[in-house]
Structure 1
Amino acid sequence: MTGTRRSDRRPAEGSPVARVCVDLPLAHLDRQFDYLVPAELDAQAQPGVRVKVRFAGQLVAGWLLERVAESDHPRPLYLEKVVSPVPVLAPEVARLARAVADRYAGSLADVLRLAVPPRHARVEKEDTGPSGPADGGRTPEAVDPRGWRDYPAGPALLRALTDGRAPRAVWSALPGEDWAARYADAVAAVVAGGRGAVVVVADARDLERLDTALTDVLGPGRHVCLSAALGPARRYRAFLAARRGDVPVVIGTRAAMFAPVDRLGLVAIWDDGDDLHAEPRAPYPHAREVLLTRAQLGEAAALVGGYARTAEAQLLVETRWAREVVADRATVRARMPAIAPTGDDPQLARDPGAASARLPSLAWTAARDALRADLPVLVQVPRRGYLPSIACADCRMPARCPHCAGPLALPAAEGVPACRWCGRVAAAYACPECGGRRLRAAVTGARRTAEELGRAFPGVPVRTSGREEVLSVVPGGAGLVIATPGAEPVADGGYGAVLLLDSWALLTRADLRAGEEALRRWLAAVALARPGAAGGRVVVVADGGLAPVQALLRWDAAWFAARELAERRELGFPPAVRMASVTGPADAVADLLAGARLPAGAEVLGPVPADEGRERMLVRVPRARAAALAEALHAAAGQRTARKAVDPVRLQVDPLSLF
């Protein structure tokens, strides 16, 4: 119908006005616009469909949000086209997207681009019948609590889910716990109650594990996986199956946090401290916050689980928004491996070199004993590569690139030093301080560690798991597995020993969450070890007096999270307060903050240097004024886009990194 004159058109009867969100990334256009629905598009122009409209003389895409009887605009234009009659935007998701945009000082159009995958016309033309098997799979009438019996509140959680109630839980998983099976039980309980579920995990390995567990419990065809890694066609096909109601359960990475599910009864997230849950595109929402907002709006149950616990999850417990689900101390001790640090006084008395050795005798002995018992050994190394950081062997000056001052690294034993920033090689490197040409390791990577341990334990298979190749499982016999954090494979029967090396690399990062992140990485690795009664040993090369190490030794993530939250309250850091970062050229940042009507009590901190010549300002307010802060910053951004300001400014509410 494009090109038909306005005088030749007549509006649809009943509700002739369509309210549209135009897909334009401009803050001052973050509102609904009214368009008339021509009579010939009446049947297709339903809420949730993609449309094309005339805006500022151009044909732009948009979302039809609702149909109403009247418009406040005196002469609205007509819709130009319905791109597809499939209503891909569910009303519940539209409300959620608006709430997320408001919480993160963003625009609805930006959130909708995250919520609905790009259209795939060929997939839309395929058979739209149910994607599951003819018998609909199997829906259990009652769910066996199984492993949830190890947690006093676990069986009650499953009963509440089956009964259609909306419990909210923060779950601290035991060592060696099959978390995917426990999540599958929770989802099965919700499905048994006639409702649906959305579960979000961090990466493809976790998604594959959860996919297998759900198939075992629910049967094939009862759930779909949503992930950006699936490819356009498969992802859109899975999305449409969920939107049509063919399946009651959607699991996936953060791409699934907005997934449309009929009669949503549960939202769940595993390992919410993983930075992969944070969306890198505007308005930068975090999957945990999106799911909790969804639970609040839809009166659904919420489950936040992990071996570790974030300060944000602890805040849910302390404010009584959620109840913690934890095991008693006797059960924890029975499931734990034997964990020992190398930096405490008794160990230093036996091995004075433990304070400086990269592989102290305690760690070497634990690995040797496990290998002799025909058990695998896991070695966690925080840095990948061979020698990711090198220094002058004479004066210990860090080796820097002569062109860009980036850090030099050695890619292999016989390799040539190269810059990690610009990639230039530095074959003729000479130290600018002393003129020395010999280089030494400043930081040892996973591949160099594998090489060293291979020489220390000849004849033992050595496997590496990291960026180049991530292993999912390894056999249970004697062997060494060198892995970077997050890439640790599961061993058949569990590891006989787990060695946590170079703890300083995690603990000394200039980041608010350094201790929390270190503990999370350690707990994830230690959870793969055998219980102490079955010979499982863990050695952490760190001082036993440090708070994260103490939490690891006792397997007490809740204690550490409570400690972290108390410190952040005292210092005024998230999640105790709401904080926003404003990043961009200095003049642009000052311009935006000058036009923002910040709420009473707002503190402006900075500026501090950012990247590429930009600077960052931080704005801090009490949590009670969080909505006012987001509204003020969004309005100020709208003023700048309306004036067509040249320099962009990035707004982030509660960014993961403040420095």
Structure 2
Amino acid sequence: MTPADDPELLPGMARASVKASQAKARATRARKAAEAEPTAVDPVARVLVDVPLAHLDRTFDYLVPVAMADTAVPGARVKVRFAGQDVDGYVLARGAESDHTGRLTPLRRVVSPEPVLHPAIAALAGELAERYAGTRSDLLRLAVPQRHATTEKEPSPPAGPWQHDPAAGETAWVDHQPGPAFLRHLTTGGSPRAVWSAAPATDWPLLVAHAAAATHASGRGVVICVPDGKDVARVDRALIAVLGEGQHVTLTADAGPARRYRDFLAVSRGARRVVVGTRAASFAPARDLGLVVIWDDGDDLHAEPRAPYPHTRETLLLRAEQEGAGALVGGFVRTVEAAYLLRTGWANQIAADRAEVRRRVTVQIAGEESDRTRGGARIPREVHLAVREALESGPVLVQTPRVGYVNVLACERCRTPARCEVCQGPLALSGPAVPPSCRWCGTVDEAWACRECGHRGLRAPVLGDARTAEELGRALPNVRIRTSSGDTVLALVSGAHQVVVATPGAEPVAEGGYAAVVLLDTWLLLSRIDLRAEEEALRRWADAAALVRPGGRVVAVGDPAHPALQALVRWDPAGHAERETDERLAAHLPPASRLATITGEPGAVDDAVTLLAAPASAEVLGPVDLPEGESRVVVRVPRAEGADLSRALGELQRLRSARKLDAVRIQVDPPTL
């Protein structure tokens, strides 16, 4: 026997120390045993564990110790022991019994008793995971921001008094019928659904703010999603003007962890009922949701680039269905998906009449497509005249599709593309007094000669915004020329006499609106090889053209016979969407069908197609070889069997995950194809 076994063998002082240590150890063991005892009320916690494996996307039961009985509430973050390590999770529910027949493992600890995952958002994540063949843990990373402990300890101040002027709201919406009736329905607690085609020169943030105010007046929540931070700022200012200060929050990715979590908690705790933000705001846990709004739903910024790639429009419409809320899908153009909502009767139309549209804007086409192919002027004479005339009364916006100076060069004589001698990359010009250099490897080629005809002259088939600004500066020597593109995007410009050259999506708003808008190189947007090329081109043109002041002028340089440009001239985005929808229906393309892509290593894609238990009507198109050695197949089913395809794809993901097979990327209804 050693002294450690029997303290009596030790001298006096040491003996007392060992006895005290043993007593402390016994007390610690007794305390831990008591804490490990399950609580008497609902001792089972159903936890969604944050693991990326599809076959583990389900709840697991854990024991709730007495010490955590009051903090392990549904929606709280917890730590649990899983597969031999501590992992994060959310408590989805508490119960009295478990289906597990063995001994339950107790929760390790409650990270925070704050219920950040609300039941409606948890149900939404489950529905989206099934629709997009993903996992709930991936969706909850999008829905719940990272915890900021210091911010969480701070209370969310109440919103305070707010203002609502129903008459002002109906006046703002009077040109878009039946907009006033839509507001009245929201004010009385109704849940109307509408597809809104905004007329040009419409202050759309103000109209959205009035719709939010009408819903707020009924005591319900509002979630508004817009494409980018510039739009968030515009809606933010409109909400302050309509509702007053401190009545809403903004949720954007660049807000910083502390502010983002503070605003999220204000919504989660019910201190704020109105939310505006980018795509992540679609998961905001607004209490008693009464209205969801998405503006410009065709913008590709609404498509989540991370798995499982949910689209903001589908997320919001699913929330409206689940929570019985109203819906407003708005934009200056109408997407095919929005047109399909009208065709199926899910929503009603809100739009301005033809007389109001004609009063607000005049659109004309300058130049012919044949002029460009013959080497004619890129900016026709009538455009110069329109710009000079408009500058007498205000600013002018010029939209050009490419950023930079001259990004594409070709032989002046035979039109052969100019290539680098080192890597065969495209040659470009970065400025007016520099030699051509390769866009891939940066090699400068001062003595370039065409490999086909030997000619040394170069031409620029496509010009960027910097070169466009240079050309306009020479033509208008006493006029200020500004650019908005790339890393230098202007949000707002004054109403001074100036020309603003901007790329699509970077057009700033002018105080009082632009006197004229010029759309250059329309052929370039239409030349994209994509299912949505025409729809996207019309959307980008209309978003720029809508920035004119009432009675303004829009001049587009392109082929006047093209259907998309004809739709712009008539300002008939609804008719264009209907034509696109008919063509999609005839070709069995979305929205008439549910379509999914499977992308990955060729062998992995072949295995996935073999294992996929798709509906009998499914068509498998491909495989198609992609860059970097990947392969892709497209699986298509009729729209009525879309849910069956999503379930089959989800089961495929779980099967491949359980067998530890090579991963493949599955994207349901991809925004581009």
Common fold: TM-score over 0.5: yes
Q: Following TM superposition, by how much is the alpha carbon of 1:593 offset from its aligned partner in structure 2, in angstroms? A: 1.5
Q: Following TM superposition, by how much is the alpha carbon of 1:401 offset from its aligned partner in structure 2, in angstroms? A: 4.0
Q: Following TM superposition, by how much is the alpha carbon of 1:296 offset from its aligned partner in structure 2, in angstroms? A: 0.4
Which structure would you say has the larger Rg? 2
Please give the root-mean-square deviation of Cα atoms over the aligned residues, in Å: 2.2
Determine the C-alpha separation between the residues in 2 that align with 1:64 and 1:301.
30
Q: Following TM superposition, by how much is the alpha carbon of 1:493 offset from its aligned partner in structure 2, in angstroms? A: 2.6
Determine the C-alpha separation between the residues in 1 that align with 2:272 and 2:557.
47
Q: Could you list the per-position Cα deviations for residues 235-262 of structure 1 after superposition, in whole angstroms to 9, with x for gaps in the alignment?
A: 1110011101111101001110000111
Determine the C-alpha separation between the residues in 1 that align with 2:257 and 2:110.
21
Contact 2:365 2:559 in 1 (8 A): no
Give the corresponding residue for 1:370. 390
Give the corresponding residue for 2:175. 150
Give the corresponding residue for 2:529. 510
Give the corresponding residue for 1:115. 143
Give the corresponding residue for 2:428. 409
* Higher mean displacement: 359-368 or 301-310: 359-368
Q: Structure 1's 86 and 401: CA in aligned 2 closer, same or farther, altered over 3 A? A: farther
Q: Following TM superposition, by how much is the alpha carbon of 1:578 offset from its aligned partner in structure 2, in angstroms? A: 0.8
Q: Following TM superposition, by how much is the alpha carbon of 1:375 offset from its aligned partner in structure 2, in angstroms? A: 2.3
Which of these residues, 595, 598, 607, is aligned with residue 611 of structure 2?
Answer: 595
Q: Structure 1's 539 and 45: CA in aligned 2 closer, same or farther, altered over 3 A? A: same
Determine the C-alpha separation between the residues in 2 that align with 1:30 and 1:435.
63
Q: Could you list the per-position Cα deviations for residues 15-56 of structure 1 after superposition, in whole angstroms to 9, with x for gaps in the alignment?
A: 111111111111111111111111211111011011111111
Which of these residues, 104, 127, 137, is aligned with residue 162 of structure 2?
Answer: 137
Write out aligned runs for 1:80-479 (5 A): 80-126=108-154, 128-132=155-159, 135-140=160-165, 144-343=169-368, 356-371=376-391, 373-402=392-421, 404-421=423-440, 425-426=444-445, 429=448, 431-434=450-453, 436-479=455-498
Give the corresponding residue for 1:29. 56
Determine whether 1:47 maps to 2:74. yes
Give the corresponding residue for 2:16. none
Q: TM-score, normalised by structure 1?
A: 0.94
- SS of aligned partner of 2:500: strand
Determine the C-alpha separation between the residues in 2 that align with 1:542 and 1:211.
36
Give the corresponding residue for 1:542. 558
Q: Following TM superposition, by how much is the alpha carbon of 1:600 offset from its aligned partner in structure 2, in angstroms? A: 1.8
Q: Which amino acid aligns with 1:224?
A: V
Q: Following TM superposition, by how much is the alpha carbon of 1:392 offset from its aligned partner in structure 2, in angstroms? A: 3.1
Q: Following TM superposition, by how much is the alpha carbon of 1:141 offset from its aligned partner in structure 2, in angstroms? A: 6.7
Determine the C-alpha separation between the residues in 2 that align with 1:227 and 1:388.
32
- SS of aligned partner of 1:161: helix
Determine the C-alpha separation between the residues in 2 that align with 1:352 and 1:42.
74
- SS of aligned partner of 1:628: helix
- SS of aligned partner of 2:52: coil
- SS of aligned partner of 1:61: strand
Determine the C-alpha separation between the residues in 2 that align with 1:402 and 1:637.
46
Q: Structure 1's 316 and 355: CA in aligned 2 closer, same or farther, altered over 3 A? A: farther
Q: Following TM superposition, by how much is the alpha carbon of 1:2 offset from its aligned partner in structure 2, in angstroms? A: 13
Contact 1:36 1:77 in 2 (8 A): yes
Which of these residues, 590, 597, 603, is aligned with residue 581 of structure 1?
Answer: 597
Q: Could you list the per-position Cα deviations for residues 369-389 of structure 1 after superposition, in whole angstroms to 9, with x for gaps in the alignment?
A: 222x24222111000010111
- SS of aligned partner of 1:612: helix
Q: Could you list the per-position Cα deviations for residues 50-77 of structure 1 after superposition, in whole angstroms to 9, with x for gaps in the alignment?
A: 1111111111111111112211112222
Q: Structure 1's 258 and 8: CA in aligned 2 closer, same or farther, altered over 3 A? A: closer
Determine the C-alpha separation between the residues in 1 that align with 2:158 and 2:431.
50
Q: Following TM superposition, by how much is the alpha carbon of 1:630 offset from its aligned partner in structure 2, in angstroms? A: 1.0
Give the corresponding residue for 2:642. 626
Q: Which amino acid aligns with 1:370?
A: A
Determine the C-alpha separation between the residues in 2 that align with 1:477 and 1:47.
56
- SS of aligned partner of 1:619: strand
Contact 1:11 1:37 in 2 (8 A): yes
Contact 1:14 1:69 in 2 (8 A): yes
Determine the C-alpha separation between the residues in 1 that align with 2:443 and 2:591.
42
Q: Structure 1's 12 and 114: CA in aligned 2 closer, same or farther, altered over 3 A? A: same
Q: Following TM superposition, by how much is the alpha carbon of 1:354 offset from its aligned partner in structure 2, in angstroms? A: 9.3
Q: Structure 1's 64 and 520: CA in aligned 2 closer, same or farther, altered over 3 A? A: same
Contact 1:195 1:262 in 2 (8 A): yes
Determine the C-alpha separation between the residues in 2 that align with 1:352 and 1:424.
30
Q: Which amino acid aligns with 1:631?
A: R
Q: Could you list the per-position Cα deviations for residues 546-594 of structure 1 after superposition, in whole angstroms to 9, with x for gaps in the alignment?
A: 1111110111110000000110111111112110011111111111111
Unaligned runs of 5+ in 2: 1-27
Determine the C-alpha separation between the residues in 2 that align with 1:286 and 1:30.
21
| Number of positions where the alignment pairs a residue of Structure 1 with one of Structure 2 | 645
Identical positions, percent: 56
- SS of aligned partner of 1:573: coil
Contact 2:47 2:61 in 1 (8 A): yes
Contact 1:354 1:361 in 2 (8 A): no
Determine the C-alpha separation between the residues in 1 that align with 2:145 and 2:90.
13
Write out aligned runs for 1:485-504 (5 A): 485-504=504-523
Q: Which amino acid aligns with 2:665?
A: R
Contact 1:338 1:531 in 2 (8 A): no
Q: Which amino acid aligns with 2:301?
A: L
Determine the C-alpha separation between the residues in 2 that align with 1:436 and 1:613.
37
Q: Which amino acid aligns with 1:105?
A: A
Determine the C-alpha separation between the residues in 2 that align with 1:168 and 1:376.
37
- SS of aligned partner of 1:333: helix
Determine the C-alpha separation between the residues in 1 that align with 2:482 and 2:257.
34
Determine whether 1:650 maps to 2:650. no
Determine whether 1:566 maps to 2:566. no
- SS of aligned partner of 2:74: coil
Q: Which amino acid aligns with 2:488?
A: E
Q: Following TM superposition, by how much is the alpha carbon of 1:479 offset from its aligned partner in structure 2, in angstroms? A: 1.5
Determine the C-alpha separation between the residues in 2 that align with 1:43 and 1:522.
56
Determine the C-alpha separation between the residues in 1 that align with 2:242 and 2:497.
33
Contact 1:499 1:539 in 2 (8 A): yes
Contact 1:136 1:221 in 2 (8 A): no
Give the corresponding residue for 2:106. 78
- SS of aligned partner of 2:174: helix
Determine the C-alpha separation between the residues in 2 that align with 1:475 and 1:2.
72
Unaligned runs of 5+ in 1: none
Q: Structure 1's 17 and 423: CA in aligned 2 closer, same or farther, altered over 3 A? A: farther
- SS of aligned partner of 1:136: coil
Q: Structure 1's 389 and 544: CA in aligned 2 closer, same or farther, altered over 3 A? A: same
- SS of aligned partner of 1:182: helix
Q: Following TM superposition, by how much is the alpha carbon of 1:426 offset from its aligned partner in structure 2, in angstroms? A: 4.9
Q: Following TM superposition, by how much is the alpha carbon of 1:198 offset from its aligned partner in structure 2, in angstroms? A: 0.3
* Higher mean displacement: 293-302 or 12-21: 12-21
* Higher mean displacement: 420-429 or 30-39: 420-429
Q: Structure 1's 338 and 282: CA in aligned 2 closer, same or farther, altered over 3 A? A: closer
Contact 2:519 2:557 in 1 (8 A): yes
Q: Which amino acid aligns with 2:648?
A: A
Contact 1:115 1:255 in 2 (8 A): yes
